[in-house]
């Protein structure tokens, strides 16, 4: 995983008692801030995106589960062998015959959402991190079928689709930051989850749940999703950017956080990459240290074995919570 993140596309107070509410709830915001010009994606976000159309109430719309290996367009099924998958949802209107795809992903690629830049003249790490929904006409059958999944999961009415579209607008405007990591106490399924991730698969799960709440009846098929998990003892809350890096901040802690993130920077040579990889192994595995930035706040994770793991775990499709619309 560390190799994957280091090779991902990139652009050029003391300790306080931990909070006791676990997992820490993902924070929603009142609006989406403007992005800094410094943050430039190698691959354009949502290049053919469009507004979600209003469907006629009597329309019957097929809903498809879409899944393919991350960066399948560039590496084929390579990351699929590691079960590192990207998720989306497809729609087909019976009245118009048109297909649509909806997905949620990083505006500035995975590396920027996971680790910051250490910019000269700036004390605090600088984050290029936003995620957003993308809706566009068409379903690229070859992309999803070649190395992944394209399967019908339910049918909905035009009314349900339009209500879902309103929810997507709210979800997209308030849930703006990508969170790569799930952090939990151990590999045991019943173990405490300290932090939950907020990425493409979670958007699809939220969408399915919204449709179920509206009355959609899902087929009984197995659905698996990728999670990247860090294993840690109880996290220690450190503070926010101002309390750590501001004029009255903790200079020792600020230096430690910057030092931790330094090896995750983009690399120019193979030698630099392996030197920093050894530093990462030393800090995360040998010294059991990880600094997490979540909800615009910093936490210290006392890491423990197995430290990090990629899982491809089944999450059942939701059960309708109200009467079906008869579609």
Q: What DSSP element (H or E) covers 255?
A: helix 251-261
Per-residue pLDDT band for 320 (boundaries 50, 70, 90) equals confident
d(CA 109, CA 234): 29
- 20: exposed, middle or buried (Cβ count in 10 Å: 0-12, 13-18, 19+): exposed
Q: Tell me if residue 200 is catalytic.
A: yes
The number of domains in the chain is: 1
Predicted confidence (pLDDT) per residue in 225-239, tens digit: 999 999 999 999 999
* Domain ranges, residue 266: 60-314
Tell me, yes or no, whether 39 lies in a domain.
no
Per-residue pLDDT band for 43 (boundaries 50, 70, 90) equals confident
Residue 9 scores a pLDDT above 90: no
> Given this model, what pLDDT does residue 321 score?
67
Residue 14 scores a pLDDT above 70: no
- One DSSP character per residue, 50-114 reads -PPPPPPTT-EEEEEEEEEETTHHHHTTTGGGGT-EEEEEEEEETTT--EEEEEEEESSHHHHHH
Residue 276 scores a pLDDT above 80: yes
Q: Which residue among the candidates 86, 113, 128, 134 is catalytic per the annotation? A: 86
d(CA 14, CA 1): 31
Per-residue pLDDT band for 316 (boundaries 50, 70, 90) equals very high
Residue 18 scores a pLDDT above 60: no
Tell me, yes or no, whether 17 lies in a domain.
no
Q: Evaluate whether 101 touches 139 at the Cβ level (below 8 Å).
A: yes
Tell me, yes or no, whether 270 lies in a domain.
yes
Q: Tell me if residue 39 is catalytic.
A: no
Tell me, yes or no, whether 193 lies in a domain.
yes
Over residues 258-272, the mean pLDDT reads 91
Q: Which residue among the candidates 113, 128, 134, 200 is catalytic per the annotation? A: 200
Tell me, yes or no, whether 25 lies in a domain.
no
Tell me, yes or no, whether 29 lies in a domain.
no
Over residues 232-250, the mean pLDDT reads 97
Tell me, yes or no, whether 218 lies in a domain.
yes
> Given this model, what pLDDT does residue 19 score?
56
Residue 21 scores a pLDDT above 90: no
Nearest residue to 108 (alpha-carbon basis) of 124, 134, 127, 133: 127
> Given this model, what pLDDT does residue 325 score?
43
Tell me, yes or no, whether 15 lies in a domain.
no
């Amino acid at each position: 995983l560390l190799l994957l993140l280091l090779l991902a596309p990139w652009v050029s107070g003391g300790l306080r008692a931990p909070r006791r509410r676990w997992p820490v709830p993902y924070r929603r915001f009142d609006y989406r801030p403007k992005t800094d010009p410094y943050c430039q994606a190698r691959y354009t976000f949502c290049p053919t995106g469009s507004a979600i159309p209003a469907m006629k109430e009597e329309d019957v719309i097929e809903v498809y589960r879409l899944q393919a290996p991350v960066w399948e367009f560039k590496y084929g099924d390579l990351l699929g062998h590691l079960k590192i998958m990207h998720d989306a949802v497809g729609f087909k209107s019976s009245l118009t015959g048109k297909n649509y795809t909806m997905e949620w992903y990083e505006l500035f690629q995975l590396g920027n959402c996971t680790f910051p830049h250490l910019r000269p003249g700036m004390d605090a790490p600088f984050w290029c991190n936003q995620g957003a929904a993308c809706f566009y006409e068409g379903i690229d059958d070859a992309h999803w079928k070649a190395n992944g999944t394209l399967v019908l999961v339910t049918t909905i009415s035009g009314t349900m689709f339009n209500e879902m579209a309103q929810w997507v607008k709210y979800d997209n405007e308030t849930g703006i930051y990508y969170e790569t990591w799930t952090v939990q106490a151990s590999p045991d399924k019943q173990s405490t989850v300290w932090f939950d991730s907020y990425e493409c698969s979670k958007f699809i799960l939220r969408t399915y749940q919204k449709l179920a709440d509206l009355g959609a009846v899902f087929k009984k098929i197995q659905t698996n999703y990728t999670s990247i998990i860090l294993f840690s003892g109880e996290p220690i809350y450190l503070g926010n950017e101002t309390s750590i890096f501001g004029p009255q901040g903790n200079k020792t802690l600020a230096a430690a956080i910057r030092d931790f993130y330094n090896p995750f920077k983009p690399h120019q040579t193979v030698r630099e990459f392996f030197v920093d990889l050894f530093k990462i192994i030393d800090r995360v595995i040998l010294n059991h240290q990880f600094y997490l930035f979540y909800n615009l706040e910093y936490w210290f994770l006392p890491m423990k074995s197995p430290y990090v793991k990629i899982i491809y775990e089944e999450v059942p499709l939701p059960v309708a919570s109200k009467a079906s619309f008869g579609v």
